[in-house]
Amino acid sequence: MIYLDNAGTTKMDEDVKKAMLKYFDEEYGNASSLHSLGQRAKEQLEIARTQIAKAINAQPNEIYFTSGGSESDNQAILSIAHMGKLKNKRHIITTKIEHHAVLHTLEKLEKDGFDVTYLDVMPNGIVDVKALKKAIKKDTVLVCVMFANNEIGTIQPIAEIGELCKQKGITFFTDAVQAVGHLPIDVKALNIDMLSMSAHKFHGPKGVGALFVKRGTPIFSLIEGGAQENNKRAGTENLAGIVGMATALTKAVKEMDKVNKKLVKLRDKLIKALLKVPHSALNGDAVNRLANNVNLCFEGIEGESLLLMLDDEGICASSGSACTSGSLDPSHVLLAIGRPHEVAHGSLRLTMSKYTTEEDVNKVIKVVPKIVEYLRKMSPVWDELEKGERKHVL
Ligand SMILES: *Cc1c(COP(=O)(O)O)cnc(C)c1O
């Protein structure tokens, strides 16, 4: 099997699995218990917190463990909204290409009287900082821009946005689920106030993540109960998961340069080869993108059919994001970069990992153009394009 859906989730690293096993077997204590088994759990929990903090240049007491990226996104946004209400500031700026964990949380806030500006992105999928600056109002309480996009891999100008928010005294939250473990991140240098991460996007386990909250930034608890996580997130800590996340992140940071060097080569090889398919286009900036991300549109086909045929060839890929696949709406990200509906439907996302090999890439380069050609032969839309009854847009 060739797994090219690493933006959806990643395979757990063997070292991560090994590090976790102890916490299912001997060291199963509850970190809140006073006996030694519990106290050892507590110690491990704090070691993991320190490791995670170090990976992004934060302090350990600025790291809150959660169940993953979605929960961290919800907690960050709802915390600042809560503060905004108290200060009578109800304007939030975000982008049209955020993950649904961000967009749906903001839609809920709109129903609650918040005013949300959804910024367009440029055709290359990058936010225009000048437009962001213009959108700031007197009552803007939060700027929420993702670090790197999960569909098209574009990397946003986080340093510039952080600097701008710092100058204006506005809280800056970034969903960095696709960036942590993949790009160097220094929350201090980048002036980030809040940042979310998720272990299963960097070869850690599913169901565990973290929220970085800069000291002094208010944080509101979504889950009431015990006093865990400094009273900001009740519930017995998922110690095995947390140790897994810390192990995975430490390893990912160590391997980052080497892995990215390899992936950039494979990425650019894939893009170059697949763009030879007539009437195709790359989605997102060619340079300012994650090393593992390839996302293309092929005119005249359905991405879903392409996926199913790739699956028959043993290749796992994606079209749009995992959350939108299965529904008929094309990806909101592809629409935001200006792809017309029918073109957005013909998209293919291939996301690699450190486990991807050159042979995997060569197979994809052989198989994809053939499948596209086959699907176009059967496509009524392609027929219209060929006959000139419909105009090519790519
Ligand atoms: C995967 C992902 C999430 C959700 O993380 P979960 O841990 O699966 O809840 C949020 N944002 C982005 C950008 C993602 O890629």
**Overall average pLDDT of the 11-27 stretch:** 97
Closest protein CA for atom 10 of ligand 1: 69
Query: What pLDDT score was predicted for residue 324?
Result: 47
Atom of ligand 1 nearest to the CA of 70: 9
Q: What are phi and psi of 218, to 5 degrees?
A: -70, 140
Q: Is the CB of 175 under 6 A from ligand 1?
A: yes
Summarize pLDDT for 152-189 with one digit per residue, the tens.
999 999 999 999 999 999 999 999 999 999 999 999 99
Atom of ligand 1 nearest to the CA of 73: 10
Please tell me the pTM assigned to this model: 0.97
Which residue out of 150, 156, 333 has the highest number of ligand 1 atoms within 8 Å of its CB and is therefore the one to mutate? 150
Q: Is the CB of 99 under 6 A from ligand 1?
A: yes
Q: What is the chain's mean pLDDT, rounded?
A: 96
Q: Rounded to an integer, what distance in angstroms lies between the CA atom of residue 155 and that of residue 290?
A: 7
185-189, long-range: CB < 8 A, 24+ apart: 185/55, 185/56, 185/57, 185/147, 186/56, 186/57, 187/56, 187/57, 187/58, 187/212, 187/214, 188/57, 188/58, 189/57, 189/159
Query: What pLDDT score was predicted for residue 328?
Result: 67
Summarize pLDDT for 92-106 with one digit per residue, the tens.
999 999 999 999 999
Q: Rounded to an integer, what distance in angstroms lies between the CA atom of residue 213 and that of residue 38?
A: 26
Q: What is the 3-state secondary structure (H, E, C) of the chain?
A: CEECECCCCCCCCHHHHHHHHCCCCCCCCCCCCCCHHHHHHHHHHHHHHHHHHHHCCCCHHHEEEECCHHHHHHHHHHHHHHHHHHHCCCEEEEECCCCHHHHHHHHHHHHCCCEEEEECECCCCCECHHHHHHHCCCCEEEEECCCECCCCCEECCHHHHHHHHHHHCCEEEEECCCCCCCCCCCCCCCCCCEEEEEHHHCCCCCCCEEEEECCCCCCCCCCCCCCHHHHCCCCCCCHHHHHHHHHHHHHHHHHHHHHHHHHHHHHHHHHHHHCCCCCEEECCCCCCECCCEEEEEECCCCHHHHHHHHHHCCEECECCCCCCCCCCCCCHHHHHCCCCHHHHCCEEEEECCCCCCHHHHHHHHHHHHHHHHHHHHHCHHHHHHHHCCCCCCC
Local confidence band at 329 (pLDDT 50, 70, 90 cut-offs): confident
Closest protein CA for atom 8 of ligand 1: 69
Query: What pLDDT score was predicted for residue 323?
Result: 45
Query: What pLDDT score was predicted for residue 368?
Result: 98
Q: Rounded to an integer, what distance in angstroms lies between the CA atom of residue 209 and that of residue 214?
A: 17
Lookup: tokens for 352: 């690699």
**Overall average pLDDT of the 62-86 stretch:** 98
Q: Is the CB of 178 under 6 A from ligand 1?
A: yes
Q: For the CA atoms of the chain, what is the radius of gyration? A: 22
Catalogue all structural domains in the chain, each as residue range(s) with its CATH number.
14-252 (3.40.640.10), 255-379 (3.90.1150.10)
Tell how far the Cα of 363 is from the centroid of ligand 1, in angstroms: 29
Q: Is the CB of 201 under 6 A from ligand 1?
A: yes
Q: Rounded to an integer, what distance in angstroms lies between the CA atom of residue 151 and that of residue 284?
A: 9
Query: What pLDDT score was predicted for residue 322?
Result: 45
Strand order in the sheet with 293-298: 280-282, 293-298, 347-351
Query: What pLDDT score was predicted for residue 320?
Result: 67
Tell how far the Cα of 392 is from the centroid of ligand 1, in angstroms: 34
Whether 144 is catalytic: no
Atom of ligand 1 nearest to the CA of 148: 13
Query: What pLDDT score was predicted for residue 326?
Result: 53
